[in-house]
Structures are given as C-alpha cells and as structure tokens.
Chains A and B, each alone.
Chain A
Amino acid sequence: MMVKKQKKQRPKNLDLFTIRLPVNAVVSILHRASGVVLFLIQPLLLWTLYLSLSSAQGYAAVAKQFQQWPVKLLITALACAFFHHFYAGIRHLAMDVHWMTTLQKARFSSRVVLWLVAVTMVFVIWVIWVRG
C-alpha cells in the first residue's frame, strides 16, 4: 500500500523535449546499453570466429561478408558500442576505487570518454570504409 501511494505522489517528467540529460547520465546509460548490445551479439561473433577458422572456404566466406556495406555498417556500430563500453568501463573502474569522484571531475572524465570514443571511431571508420 505504501508503495502505491509513493508512486502516485512522486513528481514525474517524461517529456522528452524538456528532459536535459547531464553528460554523466549520457555516459552511464550508453555504458549500460552498449553492455547489453555486446552481450546480445556474442553468438554472432563466435559464429564468425568459428566459420573463419573452420576452413579456407569458411574464411573466404567471412572475408567476402566483410566487404558488404550492411556488414560494414554493423561492424562500425558494434565498434562504437565496444569502445564506448571500454572507455566508460575504465572510467567506472577508476571511480570504483574513488578516483575522480567529485561532480566536477566526473563531468570532465565523462567528456574525455565521449571524445575518446569519437576519436577512436574516426580511426575505425577510416580503417573500415576508406582503407577497405
């Protein structure tokens, strides 16, 4: 009963146009989302690894797939998820040992994470789309 009452009285704002997510919240939710995406994609990655090692034909099939643009797009997206999860994960571990935990420093490290992801993705995009 208590729970129900509390639920009703709680102030709510779910208007997407007035919600301003702080940078720390952005990094945090993307870390969670990317973790789930990486979890879900594991079977596909393991299947690819299996195919590429199983035989010369399997390897050629995988190599051919990697030339297709939808596959390249998928790899780009997954790289983005991975690098965000990686950098934000390192930041998370640093904060777990009480490093850079004041609000100001946390905002700074959040921006560093987002910039690291951006710079890494420029490189990834270059490797996947330009260099071939």
Chain B
Amino acid sequence: MLFELLTAKYPGMRRWLTQRLCALSMAVVLLLLWLRVMCLSPQDYSEWQALFAPLWWRLLSVWFFACMLLHAWLGVRDVLRDYVPHLGIRAVLQWLVNFAVWGNAIAVIWILFGMNF
C-alpha cells in the first residue's frame, strides 16, 4: 500500500514526499555547512574563498541548493493552487515561477563551478 502510493499513479503523493525529503535533507546539510562556516569563521576574502575551495564543499552546496529549489518550487506551486483559482492567471504566475527557479538553478551552477576563483 505504502509503495503503491509512490508509483506514477499518485503523482501528488510523490510531490508531497519529494518536498518532505528535500526539507529533511536541507535541515541536515545546513547543519554541516553551518558547522564548517562557524569553525573556520572566515574574516576576509581569501578565507571566504578557501571555504569554497574543496570540491566536496561545492558538491554539498549544490545538493543543498537543488533541494532548496525543488522544495520551494513544489511549495509555491501549492500556494498558487490554493490562492489563484483563475486558471489563466495561475498559468502565467506558474510560468514566471518556473522561469525564476531555472534561472536560480543556472546561477547556482555558475557560481559554484563556473567561476575560477
């Protein structure tokens, strides 16, 4: 029964669970990121750069941002469905939201892997 709920027959259940798993993952990863920022407590540009230098840190950051974007996208989608009954207006707003989420995703990749700092 539980696993049937996760098949393509019930996309709403999948979205629901994805949003929860992303939230949980964010909470854990955030603790790790926070811990290292606190322990190194960077005071200037070179120390700030050094914080982002290790590959594992960038990968963990990308994972965090991916969870955040997916989580927030699913959340805003629900909010629009609750408060914007007019289908046309909602479609436009959802399009804008999707556009923003993709833009943010590209920005994240660019910041963490595209710049050679």
Contacts and interface: CB of A to CB of B under 8 A. Distances in A.
Interface in A26-41: 32, 35-36, 38-39
Interface residues of B, number: 24
B111 A36 contact: no
Nearest to B107: A46
Interface residues of A, number: 23
Contacts of A52: 48
A32, A39, A47, A59 — most chain B CB neighbours (10 Å): A39
Interface string A74-97: 000000000000100110010010
Contact of B104 (A46, A55, A56, A59): A46
A50 B111 contact: yes
Contacts of B69: 42
Contacts, number: 54
Interface string B61-79: 0000000110010011001
Please classify the interface of chain B as helix (H, G, I), strand (E, B), loop, or mixed, using the class held by over half of its residues.
helix
Task: Tell me whether chain A's interface is mostly helix, strand or loop, or mixed.
Answer: helix
B97 to A, nearest CB: 8
13 contacts: A32-B79, A35-B76, A38-B72, A39-B72, A39-B76, A42-B68, A43-B100, A43-B104, A46-B108, A46-B111, A47-B107, A89-B23, A89-B27
Pick the 10 closest A-B CB pairs, nearest first. A59-B45, A56-B45, A39-B72, A46-B107, A50-B111, A35-B75, A39-B76, A42-B104, A53-B117, A89-B23
Interface of A: 32, 35-36, 38-39, 42-43, 46-47, 49-50, 52-56, 59-60, 86, 89-90, 93, 96
